[in-house]
Structure 1
Amino acid sequence: MAMKSTLEEIEKRFDQDVARFSNLDTGQATIVDAALQMDLITDSIRQLYPNLQHILDIGCGAGNYDVKLLQGFQNVAHVDLVDLSQPMLDKAVERIQPLTQGKVQAHKGDFSSIDLPENQYDVIIATAVLHHLRSDADWQQAIQKLYKLLKPGGSIWVCDMIEQAHSGLQNILFKQRYGKYLSGLKDDSYRDHVFAYIEKEDSPRSLNFQMKCLEEAGFSTVDLLHKNLCFASYCGFKPE
């Protein structure tokens, strides 16, 4: 594996990008079908948990998913936010607290090392964050920890980059088709810029691997919500 960015380097990059990630429409433009995936996750949570009490958002960024989930409703949900970037956390709290009567708390750091209460959360949201995990063991340990944090009947909701298990398909869907998508957002130099920081920062795994990690951790039902090119959203439910 090529030398990857440290957590400190990732933190520094996101510290400088708060404004872009505070926009519901354009904040995640590099994710294919970003708006659809956000709608699928937030609408499903609202309907499945009408009495939502505790939310955990890891790698929350500027809080877009929580804003989308909570806006337009009378909410009393408590929200715990975890992110490497303090400016992102500050912006997320500023945007989310007016949307709920519950308490919004920010936790700066790597979620895998932050002490959070077990059996506490109705839902955990993890969007564009797990791809920063490095080894298979890191993935497995992280998912096991998240499973323990959920209440019985709670669920995790993931939207993230995936890698194709077949190298030929990876070339077609990632290099060719995702590359064309990125060029269409701006130009070829933007595509190359995004590819460069993916190579430097990210360590995605196949969708099968990611969903298998949930099953091995104990999630009784694991479901695919959406997949397009090298991005997918899925969820897992902890037994009652």
Structure 2
Amino acid sequence: MANKSTLSEIEKRFDNDVDRFSNLQTGQASTVDALFNMELITDGIAQLYPDLTQFLDIGCGAGNYTVKLLSKLNTAPNVTLADLSQPMLDRAKERSASLTDGEVTTIKGDFRKLPLQENTYDVIIATAVLHHLRDDEDWEMAFAKLYRLLKPGGSLWVFDLVSHDEPKIQYLLYRQKYGQFLANLKDENYRDHVFDYIISKGKTVHAAHNTK
């Protein structure tokens, strides 16, 4: 776990990259299918929760998923935005507040330690954030907390980076497919920069939907 970024390193990186992570057209360009998954997850939530009232976005960044979801709802839910980066939270709140008559609350910090109220949320979104977790105990504690935050019938929607057990598939998906995607997005230097940063390397988990 020595190669895992510290919380302060993650915060600093995102403090300085708000504009790029506000791009709905690329879905933050975190993976090859980031935009597809943003549409899939937000469409799914809108279909399953037409009366959504309480929504939590952990590691919300500049609020792309929240903005996309709110644009598809007929209700005006209360929104809670959590992130390590205050500039990201400020941008996410600015973008979200005009899309709901509900309360938009921001809370800065590591979601594992934030004083969030249990049995509160219809939906929690965790996109490109859980790969920062460390060992098995960390994962278990994080998911246990997220479960406690959900109302009965609530659900957790996860989109993230994972590695594949088969080395050849991992190489195909990561070095070839994802590498070419990043190079086409900008250039090879950008590809190498992203590869240097990524903690858990590999393909995406497509719209993982866990229901309480």
* TM-score grouping bracket, smaller chain normalisation: over 0.9
- Hey, what does 1:3 align to over in structure 2? 3
Contact persistence 2:62–2:91 (CA under 8 A)? yes
Per-residue CA shift, 1:49-72, capped at 9, x if unaligned?
010000000000011111101125
Three-state SS of the structure 2 residue aligned to 1:100 is: coil
Cα distance in 1 between the residues matched to 2:78 and 2:42: 16
TM-score of the superposed pair, with normalisation by structure 1: 0.84
Per-residue CA shift, 1:212-237, capped at 9, x if unaligned?
xxxxxxxxxxxxxxxxx711221111
Match runs of 1:42-61 below 5 Å = 42-61=42-61
How many residues in Structure 1 have an aligned counterpart in Structure 2?
Answer: 211
Contact persistence 2:162–2:200 (CA under 8 A)? no
Per-residue CA shift, 1:67-95, capped at 9, x if unaligned?
10112544320011100000000111111
Contact persistence 1:59–1:129 (CA under 8 A)? yes
1:231 to 200, 204, 210: 204
Identity of aligned residues (%): 60
Three-state SS of the structure 2 residue aligned to 1:99 is: coil
Three-state SS of the structure 1 residue aligned to 2:197 is: helix
Does 2:58 align with 1:62?
Answer: no
- Hey, what does 2:127 align to over in structure 1? 127
Per-residue CA shift, 1:142-178, capped at 9, x if unaligned?
0111011000110011111111022332222212222
Return 5+ residue gaps in structure 2 as ranges.
Answer: none
Contact persistence 1:84–1:109 (CA under 8 A)? yes
- Hey, what does 1:92 align to over in structure 2? 92
Q: What is the Cα deviation at residue 13 of structure 1?
A: 0.6
- Hey, what does 1:33 align to over in structure 2? 33
Does 2:185 align with 1:185?
Answer: yes
Q: What is the Cα deviation at residue 26 of structure 1?
A: 2.8
Contact persistence 1:119–1:151 (CA under 8 A)? yes
Contact persistence 2:55–2:123 (CA under 8 A)? yes
- Hey, what does 2:144 align to over in structure 1? 144
Cα distance in 2 between the residues matched to 1:194 and 1:91: 23
Contact persistence 1:30–1:182 (CA under 8 A)? no
Q: What is the Cα deviation at residue 20 of structure 1?
A: 1.0
TM-score of the superposed pair, with normalisation by structure 2: 0.94
Contact persistence 2:77–2:102 (CA under 8 A)? yes
Cα distance in 2 between the residues matched to 1:59 and 1:149: 15
Q: What is the Cα deviation at residue 130 of structure 1?
A: 0.4
- Equivalent position amino acid for 2:204 in 1: F
Per-residue CA shift, 1:174-222, capped at 9, x if unaligned?
1222212222222221111110011xxx246xxxxxxxxxxxxxxxxxx
CA RMSD of aligned residues (A): 1.5
Return 5+ residue gaps in structure 1 as ranges.
Answer: 205-228
> Quick check: 67-76 or 8-17, which moved more?
67-76
> Quick check: 29-38 or 154-163, which moved more?
29-38
- Equivalent position amino acid for 1:91 in 2: R
Cα distance in 2 between the residues matched to 1:31 and 1:3: 20
